[in-house]
Structure 1
Amino acid sequence: MPGSACLHVVIVTLDNHLSGAVERAAAHFVADGANITIGFHAAADWDRDPAALTRCIADIGRGDIVIATMLFLDDHIRAVLPALQARREDCAAMLGLMSGSEVVRLTRLGAYRMDKPAKGPLALLKRLRGSPKPGGSSGAGQMKMLRRLPKMLRFIPGTAQDVRAYFLTLQYWLAGSDDNVVGMVRALAHRYAGHATRADSPRDYPDVGIYHPKLAARMTDRIDALAAAGAKQGTVGVLMLRSYLLGRDTGHYDGVIAALEARGLRVIPAFASGLDSRPAIEAYFMKDGRATVDAVVSLTGFSLVGGPAYNDARAAETVLSQLDVPYIAAHPLEFQSLQNWGAGRQGLLPIEATMMVAIPELDGAVLPSVFGGRADGSGDACTGCGRGCTFPTSGLSREMRSCPERAEALAAKVSQLVALRRSARAERKLAIVLFNFPPNAGATGTAAHLAVWESLHATLGKLSAEGYAVAIPADVDGLRERILNGNAARYGADANVHAHIPADEHVRREPHLAAIEAQWGPAPGKQQSDGGSIHVLGAQFGNVFVGIQPAFGYEGDPMRLLFEGRFTPTHAFSAFYRWLREDFSADAVLHFGTHGALEFMPGKQTGLSGDCWPERLIGHLPNIYLYAANNPSEGLIAKRRGGATLVSYLTPPLAEAGLYKGLNDLKALLERWRSSPSDEERRVLEPMIVASAAASDLEAGDIEALWARLYELECELIPEGLHILGAPMSAKTRAQLAAAGADADLDMDNRELDALVHALDAGFVRPAPGGDLLRNPEVLPTGRNIHGFDPFRIPGTYAMAEGARQADELIARHTATAAFPETLAMVLWGTDNLKSEGTQIAQALALIGARPRFDGYGRLAGAELVPLAELGRPRIDVIVTLSGIFRDLLPLQTRMIAEAAWMAASADEPLDRNFVRKHSLSHAAKHDCDLETAALRVFSNAEGAYGANVNMLIDDGAWTDPDEIAEVFERQKGYAYGRAGVPTRHAELFKTALAGVDLAYQNLASCGQPDLVVQKGDRRGWPPPAVGRTGPSVPWFEP
């Protein structure tokens, strides 16, 4: 307050990147005797340290000047908004900068209040903010206007001077050097707190420029200030955030620059203001419209155009396509410490995975990689890899640090991509990996919806035509014979044995031998081995080796999870990838079809470390992955855990399913019953119809309804045949898709083989959504890099309406023959929700009586309850089980469903109208736990684990009692995910919840699958014995 003995300034912002500048400014005021103190608080700290939020709220309560900036995430806004509102009228000044509208409206500077209608010069604020236009670049223009406005407002009296102070504060903060932070505080203290201190004008810095730690001034706008050495090995453009550079918080950037230069690469580290990197690309990475770099590495952690609050993927794709070089988006850790990340199995936190991985993927980014972060100040070693780095700190500052192992790994991957790009095709060595699952079942060389051998032959032919040194067998049969048979009989192998790795050599060269032997016994192991050596299966065709990925190794013991953290790949699996890297010396690897096992090996879910098995196996090899266009969720796992650039292929044409023999017999009986005029004949036919329907797992309660259901089954669209890579779409297929309603250019050329060659040239592979062609025609053309939908926009508007409709239909169908359900068990898969933009998520919310809550930017922020009066029915208690892939790819949605359940359990509503609350209160009383625990309704695997292990148990016949299946399922899926998205073991709660289920249900979204189906025992679904096994028999819903 004016006249206070000591003025306290409180700054609340998103992260810590200006914490050093603020601390140095605070030290300056102490040394200067200015009687000003500064409290700095980063919202990124609050999730992992609730005490930090408590300190922040308390500090706001005593702040004389309060500055809230970069608060745009709903969780952050809701955490401090009440404190800001309470302090607003009692402090000297409050400023909301570059934040959600709720925060910005709290601005109060003298007579100016941001929550009042803007008039006259005040309306300039709206002009400055503008509205993002696809493809437009507003950042540079906004910065120019920001510098002009204070000059324009200088001589306008009254409230305009407070508006001028607001713009000047923005200028100071956006150019947040030590001098400008001091100037910002001095200016506000002088004008609004009566301090005699005077401020210098904001110091200007280049909006676009070059940075290098070895430059005398560290920043310049002249590229010739950089040394040109290393250009013969290639040139890499690196994008950085200007604010980190001005705040002198560059340790993480410096580590990557040094690692790239150690690889002999010339590095051009560039920055731009306004969260739009295109000006830097155009100024320093291009000349005359062509790339002057061999790769671009973004270290910003955000989208290329728009930053954390907004992204323009179309504009990003345009400029990146002009560059046509690999675009790598690496990310620093801002929401957790390096120690937290290193020790955790999750890897990235949900907000990090969404903002720093999923959003850049929309631009076409690949190779998501951690490269640095902040230490927690404890001095403890990071356990992300074997190096055990420690990060000593000085004072209170938490500077960004390089993670040496991750920075070096990133540099090695970039270096190999650059080398691939600069190499001659005729000299490249390419490894193509085929899959073999399940082993010993004739499955070698298979992939989802792909005619592998015909596609492989076409690929080899294309590579040869494009200049690769390839010896192509005369026909498909000859190719298959070389790989599958060859000398296989001599060695008793599943395919041709191309190479032998002696056991003693494997022992000498395998860096992770101890871990593998602890799991699989002494080398060479039992898989793909003759007892003395490990077999590498496949055949070589010139400079192209076609290999068979070894089996996973778990088939002998179904009780042990393939994906548990303690598991390792087999000796053969690890040796295979080592042989590709070190013996064959591949320049790139092409995984051929959907999908293999590499990307599912143990390790963190996202943000992998050097100790994660996918990283150990693929190493630094460029990884191109031919992937089915209709499977985005598992494709994203391959991108994020296997470092893959995806090249999509079309799924096969569709045809009516028709009926197999048992259903044909049932159809004949029904046709006879429907056409018979004789009641007596109908009575004779009815028990035969019931028996025939039961044999086909169909209910025969109403014969006309049975007839309708049979007709639906006969007319369903299912994939017909297998797709051949590069083959044009047939006239029949075009007609089928057109008849089925596909809104797409069905005459466009098939670009898959061209795209594959381009990816192997290390060019930019354009991004594209994945999913069903009928639901999303933008899947075409194939041959592009698959991404999911914007996770901040799931569920979409149509999905919410459709989910609500399907929820009503489900309830209506169930109540037609039974009482209104109190509890429903529901399965959610990642693939189906990405295909349908979240229809199944919306349906789960609708059943609870909830809906998504979106913030002022239109991004998903959480859940809100639909009032009972509007809902018009009781809230259903929905027990949700998630596939591991859903958990990994949709963390915000996981938290939203958990929040909806918590809100329903907490609502003060009649128990006969709110079954979530009824059952939560009952469980809390019975088990003496709090309501937060009793309201947990979202279950999945532990972090880093996948699958329910039920299929393996059933397939191996390793069970004698149905309860054994239920126990395995409950044990594997018994981890509850609450509002924070953190799993905790709650198998007993899971078991109790399932025991009371009235209806078990799954909604599969596919053009070849009806929307409403029941899941009856898949490894990712509900095994029937687990549902209601301790209570009455549960009717399985058959729509």
Structure 2
Amino acid sequence: MKIGCVMWSGYIESMAEASRGLDFLEINLKSLRDLRDERTRREFLDYLKAEADLIIVSHSGFDGTVDEVLSKVRDKLIINFGYTASFVSPRVTREQLSTIYRYFRLGGVENMRNALSYIGTEFFDLDLEAPPPKEMQWEGIYHPASPTLFSSIDDYIEWYGEERITSASTVGLIFYRSHVVTGDLEVEDAVISALEERGLTVIPVFSWDFPNKEFEIAGNDTVIERFFIKDDKSMIDLLIDLQSSFLIHTEDRSVLNRMDVPIIKGVVTYHKSEDEWREDPHGLEGELVWSVVMPEFEGIIEPLMTGARVRDAVGGATSEHFSPITKRIEHLADRVLKWANLRKKPMNDRKIVFVLHNSPCAGLESNVGAGSNLDTLESLSRILQRMKEEGYSINDLPIDGEELIDRIMGRKAISDFRWTSVDEIVKKGGAIHLLDKTTYLSWFDEFPQNVQECMVEGWGEPPGNAMIHQGKIVITGLNLGNVLVCTQPKRGCYGARCDGSVCKILHDPDIPPTHHYIATYRFFGEIWGADAIVHVGTHGNIEFLPGKSVGLSESCYPDIAIGDIPHIYIYSVDNPSEGIVAKRRSYAALVDHMLPVMTESGTYGKLNDLERLIGEYELAKTSDHARAHALEHLILEAIDETNLKSEIESHEDTAFEDVVKKAHDAVSRIKESLINKGLHVFGETPRGDEKTELITSMIRFDEDTRKIFDNDRDRLKEAVTHILEDPDSDGKIASKVRDISERIDLCKNEITSLLHGFDGGYITPGPSGLPTRGRWDVLPTGRNFYTLDPTRIPTRAAWRVGRKLAANLIEKYERETGRIPENCGMILFSTDITWADGEELSQILYLIGVEPEWDEPGRIKNLGIIPLDELGRPRIDITVRISGIMRDSFMQVIELLDDAIRRVAELNEPPDMNFIRKHALAQETDGQEWERAKTRIFGSKPGTYGAGVNLAVNASAWENEEDLANVFLYWSGYAYGKGIQGKESHEELLNQLKTVDLSFRSNPTDEHDLFGCCCYYGYHGGLTAAARSLSGKDVKAYHGDTRNPSDVQVTDLSDEIKRVVRTRLLNPKWIEGMKEHGYRGASEISGKVTKVYGWQATTHEVDDWIFDDITRTYVLDNEMREFFEEKNPWALEEMGRRLLEAYERGLWDPDPEVLDKLKKHYIEIEGWMEERMEDVSGTQGGSIDVFTMEDVENWKKKMEKVTSEKK
């Protein structure tokens, strides 16, 4: 009997042992992994065709290679005992297959040997003894010190010792039954040992994981009930999950809430050895979805490495087992111990650190407590008040956010910067600890050698030169008893200044954090004794420190910084992309918060006048011609006064009716835009009209809503109001309105969820996304959010929007230039995936002429080539700049896109109909290798984030456009794609940028705008500057607007800048909303003005009137100036200095009167600063000091890889 056998590699050794000595059998054994090798697959297929009597296969249904092999030998006898019945020969009866399945599923050498005898008897008439399958329990408890397995928790406790269990914290462990069957238990044994060495007791449970009624196999929900819950109470304090995929394979996961303990993910890499994992800058790749993404849907946290694959050759096949990664298991055990201690500790003894974000690039003194759409200061004040009420030991409780920030800034409990020196910090009481060198060295010496070397190279020998006072490292913050309130240390710069000489991260994107940074986080745990750390708001920088994307090692800086302290992160529910990074790289359990009330922008001032005049004209044009004629002049004047003329694009021969229509559309676009009404306060929910506004904003794109109300927001709002006021009202949207209303009310539990995290409880998971794009399922907040299944991207709906984006982009460019674009510079952020399901990705696919192919459940099977005659135009070349988060979270999407691009380049089509091929051939002609000439997807160096351009702009570290182009090239010159993981490719990027015709990025929401993050102008503005500098062309800068998916638009970037400026920065409604939040509101205003400057520095797309009006609104207005002086004078100084820098660099040609008053008031503002500093010296103050790479030798040397390519 000759058998060809294909099995999971973990079963190979057992099968080889089972077949050994069976003289009736010849077996050719291969693992699923073996068949991925083309030569092995071909030789094995030849054997199956020529010699095999029988084929035995364990086929899951997800392996295309096995499908390929089996499809060619269907005439053979095939027995498949995998998860599907595919390819099973008709002559195999159901009863026979069930018996064989039971042999192999029960597992073990004896059952496998008897299975072979059974097969010989049933199918080959051999006279063999085939005992029935030997039973072994499907689930139970294993312990390496016990010679037997346990089928009940009571038996295990009796053996383990009841006193031992009850006297210490208990950790549950759940792992695969197959490891018990095969004896592959080294990882589990190492985890158990590490936990017990720390005084923890362990209940190690094995299971099949999937329920199976036929075989009476319990699912993990039942297993958890049986072994971890007793008398409705959890027997464990924490659970470690060593399985893959979902822990619970049913829709009802309520057992996790009943168990109510943190669940930590122990990751075993199935595709890499330990050495391969350590050398891979990305950490995990192939198993990311199974080992990390899916568990996140269940609220499982902290993906920590525990084991790696080891391969052996057994009987001509590749066998695999798993070996423990000892150092990572030790770290896992340390973190588990801290979580267990937190759970047991009384409230009045718990010590909690709150970290407020403090981005220096936005002006450190003006920006304490940065957090997207969140009043972090008032939120933290309310959290502290609630903690005090619950029994936490807190002294000197600030009564509100204003008192909290007054204390922080009064003591200068921050890092040094433009207006703050270390001496001032110490003098005013901002230091909570002065850390001596000896103590820091005791920590530093424990770091891996490569970490020590990198930190010394970047920042000098410990303690370095950041935040040093009399040889000691200054740790800043407020000590409130058992609570510390601290600001996050500066990540990539040092000193009481901000310029190109001290912004070392600009010179070196993967520079480690400073000694001061690491010392601060180590102080929290090692000296102060923190039980938990909370980062407040979206987002800080710990999650973006250098290191692997996921599956971190002890050499990764997020891992070093957070140490063993349990980490909880307050994060905005509408920012899944960055929140997921915080979960995976800084081991954060998220507690999400809702967005502020979103309301219509409306019109104001002269815009309101223009809207009124248009309304009057529409009434008069058919009944009062004289009045209509008079209104024509008034409307034209109003268009000029509102600076709308360039957007309306009217000429002398334009019919006035067309002018009015365009003016109406322009005003409507402003009026109907959504703006945030202030900032969210954690745990606070909107009431009354604010709640109505928010519900209206959420439900407006619902299908039923659109059918009834079209785009009439006023009628919709009236209906929402009526439904909320009348509980008996009905109608198509009534149930939805009430559902949203109830979800909003439940958001009041945000603080409760946070405190439950402090109790060491389970934070319930929930989805994430944009509420105002119809995703009200992301409410209630207060949950530990997850993102989406990347195998379904792009969706069919996103594909429809993306096609429109592509068509509109081509049409606009052709209309403006007389030709279609050959190369589009595209910015592809992870938000396109998490917010819009891949709309811009779809646009890119349609530009190059490919289309997705979906399977029935909606997963992407393949990308098909659209024939040219169907496409009806040439294939457009693209140059794609991806973000670091896109790289880390959605690599499979990048690989899919890269594969499509390369296939398009290989098409035998005329170059003038295939611009990818045209440009690749031209680069090949110029000496570039063909494979490299097809490179189109670029990003930052593995382990780094950003485009660098925003750093250069903020630090004034540039003289001209070429400087910014060089920075963009330097940071962005790494290729990604199928089998390409950050290959240095500056030459390829440079070649591509030379042919770019336009730059583009789209945005699907008003929840975030162009001025919401400096990365927007850093990427899009940076690419635009680089393409213009390198090509010498007037590269167009475009913006995609998919806020309304049924009305997709492509506009000039300059028009979008104007829209956001009008709806926010110049809008009294928005301004008043910000003013209600004092210091934080002033900070938000200042940050947006800084980003307006950033867009002008990189793209020159900001009109002079914008700077004029910003200056008038904030600096020249007496009331506004008084507001800033009282609440946040540093914010007004930051604005004033940026405006003056814009003028001095020739980026703004101001109204002379505006400029004169600006200069006078800036002197006054500087006086405010100096009064607050008193006699402190040694700071940069308001000086603008320009240091470019030519002035900084080390930076110049690093940039040579870019500058030499350009020569």
Q: Please indicate, yes or no, whether the TM-score normalized by the shorter chain is above 0.5.
A: yes
Partner Cα distance (2:202, 2:964) in 1: 56
Is the CA contact (8 Å cut-off) linking 2:829 and 2:883 kept in structure 1?
yes
1:348 aligns with 2:284: yes
CA displacement at 1:18 relative to structure 2 = 1.8
Partner Cα distance (1:698, 1:881) in 2: 32
**What pairs with 1:758-907 in structure 2 (closer than 5 Å)?**
758-775=756-773, 776-817=775-816, 818-855=818-855, 858-868=858-868, 870-907=870-907
Aligned CA distance change for structure 1 residues 716 and 581 (closer, same or farther; 3 Å): same
Partner Cα distance (2:933, 2:126) in 1: 54
1:419 aligns with 2:341: yes
SS class of match (2:303): strand
Structure-2 residue corresponding to 1:81: 67
1:42 aligns with 2:42: no
Q: CA-to-partner distance for each residue in 1:179-202, whole Å, 9 max, x for gaps?
A: 222233333345445666553322
Partner Cα distance (1:303, 1:69) in 2: 21
Structure-2 residue corresponding to 1:745: 740
SS class of match (1:724): coil
Q: CA-to-partner distance for each residue in 1:253-277, whole Å, 9 max, x for gaps?
A: 2211221222222211112325231
Structure-1 residue corresponding to 2:225: 282
CA displacement at 1:905 relative to structure 2 = 2.8
Is the CA contact (8 Å cut-off) linking 1:700 and 1:706 kept in structure 2?
no
CA displacement at 1:462 relative to structure 2 = 0.4
SS class of match (2:987): helix
**What pairs with 1:608-647 in structure 2 (closer than 5 Å)?**
608-647=552-591
Structure-2 residue corresponding to 1:66: 55
Partner Cα distance (2:38, 2:1018) in 1: 37
SS class of match (1:399): strand
Aligned CA distance change for structure 1 residues 893 and 527 (closer, same or farther; 3 Å): same
Read off the aligned partner of 2:208 and give its amino acid letter.
S
Partner Cα distance (2:55, 2:383) in 1: 62
**What pairs with 1:316-465 in structure 2 (closer than 5 Å)?**
316=253, 318-349=254-285, 351-375=286-310, 397-438=319-360, 440-465=364-389
Aligned CA distance change for structure 1 residues 722 and 689 (closer, same or farther; 3 Å): closer
1:482 aligns with 2:468: no
SS class of match (2:398): coil
More helix by share: 2
Partner Cα distance (1:562, 1:764) in 2: 40
Structure 2 counterpart of 1:298, from 227, 231, 241? 241
Aligned CA distance change for structure 1 residues 199 and 813 (closer, same or farther; 3 Å): farther
Is the CA contact (8 Å cut-off) linking 2:170 and 2:203 kept in structure 1?
yes
Partner Cα distance (1:593, 1:353) in 2: 26
430-439 vs 683-692, greater mean Cα deviation = 683-692
Partner Cα distance (2:971, 2:867) in 1: 35
Read off the aligned partner of 1:352 and give its amino acid letter.
E
Is the CA contact (8 Å cut-off) linking 1:629 and 1:649 kept in structure 2?
yes
Partner Cα distance (2:47, 2:485) in 1: 63
Aligned CA distance change for structure 1 residues 68 and 525 (closer, same or farther; 3 Å): same
Is the CA contact (8 Å cut-off) linking 1:61 and 1:83 kept in structure 2?
no
Partner Cα distance (1:571, 1:51) in 2: 52
Is the CA contact (8 Å cut-off) linking 2:437 and 2:463 kept in structure 1?
yes
CA displacement at 1:602 relative to structure 2 = 1.1
Read off the aligned partner of 1:304 and give its amino acid letter.
L
Aligned CA distance change for structure 1 residues 619 and 1008 (closer, same or farther; 3 Å): closer
Read off the aligned partner of 2:791 and give its amino acid letter.
F
1:593 aligns with 2:537: yes
Is the CA contact (8 Å cut-off) linking 2:467 and 2:473 kept in structure 1?
yes
Partner Cα distance (1:1014, 1:579) in 2: 31
Structure-1 residue corresponding to 2:477: 538
CA displacement at 1:395 relative to structure 2 = 11
Q: CA-to-partner distance for each residue in 1:357-412, whole Å, 9 max, x for gaps?
A: 0111011111111110223569xxxxxxxxxxxxx999974321111111121122
Structure-1 residue corresponding to 2:433: 499
Aligned CA distance change for structure 1 residues 906 and 706 (closer, same or farther; 3 Å): farther
SS class of match (2:284): coil
**What pairs with 1:209-220 in structure 2 (closer than 5 Å)?**
209-218=140-149, 220=151
462-471 vs 169-178, greater mean Cα deviation = 169-178
876-885 vs 640-649, greater mean Cα deviation = 876-885
TM-score (norm 1): 0.84
319-328 vs 440-449, greater mean Cα deviation = 440-449
Structure-2 residue corresponding to 1:250: 185
CA displacement at 1:289 relative to structure 2 = 3.2
952-961 vs 561-570, greater mean Cα deviation = 561-570
User: Which structure 2 residue ranges, 5 or more long, are not aligned?
Assistant: 211-218, 414-419, 619-626, 700-735, 1040-1050, 1052-1207
Aligned CA distance change for structure 1 residues 377 and 575 (closer, same or farther; 3 Å): farther
Is the CA contact (8 Å cut-off) linking 2:266 and 2:306 kept in structure 1?
yes
Partner Cα distance (1:410, 1:705) in 2: 62
CA displacement at 1:843 relative to structure 2 = 2.7
User: Which structure 1 residue ranges, 5 or more long, are not aligned?
Assistant: 113-158, 307-311, 379-391
Read off the aligned partner of 2:669 and give its amino acid letter.
E
Read off the aligned partner of 2:437 and give its amino acid letter.
A
Read off the aligned partner of 1:906 and give its amino acid letter.
E
SS class of match (1:21): helix
Read off the aligned partner of 2:238 and give its amino acid letter.
A
Is the CA contact (8 Å cut-off) linking 2:506 and 2:951 kept in structure 1?
no
Partner Cα distance (2:365, 2:664) in 1: 37
323-332 vs 63-72, greater mean Cα deviation = 63-72
Structure-1 residue corresponding to 2:1038: 1037
**What pairs with 1:17-32 in structure 2 (closer than 5 Å)?**
17-26=10-19, 28=20, 31-32=21-22
1:945 aligns with 2:944: yes
Partner Cα distance (2:803, 2:492) in 1: 43
Partner Cα distance (2:197, 2:855) in 1: 44
Read off the aligned partner of 1:552 and give its amino acid letter.
R
Is the CA contact (8 Å cut-off) linking 1:451 and 1:723 kept in structure 2?
yes
Partner Cα distance (1:1031, 1:587) in 2: 57
Partner Cα distance (1:52, 1:663) in 2: 72
Read off the aligned partner of 1:583 and give its amino acid letter.
I
Is the CA contact (8 Å cut-off) linking 1:1000 and 1:1014 kept in structure 2?
no
CA displacement at 1:327 relative to structure 2 = 1.5
Partner Cα distance (1:52, 1:603) in 2: 36
Structure 2 counterpart of 1:106, from 87, 92, 107? 87
Partner Cα distance (2:296, 2:632) in 1: 66
Structure-1 residue corresponding to 2:1175: none
Structure 2 counterpart of 1:227, from 149, 160, 167? 160
Structure-2 residue corresponding to 1:520: 459
Is the CA contact (8 Å cut-off) linking 1:453 and 1:479 kept in structure 2?
yes
Aligned CA distance change for structure 1 residues 404 and 899 (closer, same or farther; 3 Å): same
Structure-1 residue corresponding to 2:524: 580
CA displacement at 1:557 relative to structure 2 = 4.4
Structure-2 residue corresponding to 1:973: 972
SS class of match (2:741): coil
SS class of match (1:727): coil
Q: CA-to-partner distance for each residue in 1:685-712, whole Å, 9 max, x for gaps?
A: 6996898756xx9977785546523531
Identity %: 28
Partner Cα distance (1:213, 1:341) in 2: 27
Is the CA contact (8 Å cut-off) linking 1:977 and 1:983 kept in structure 2?
yes
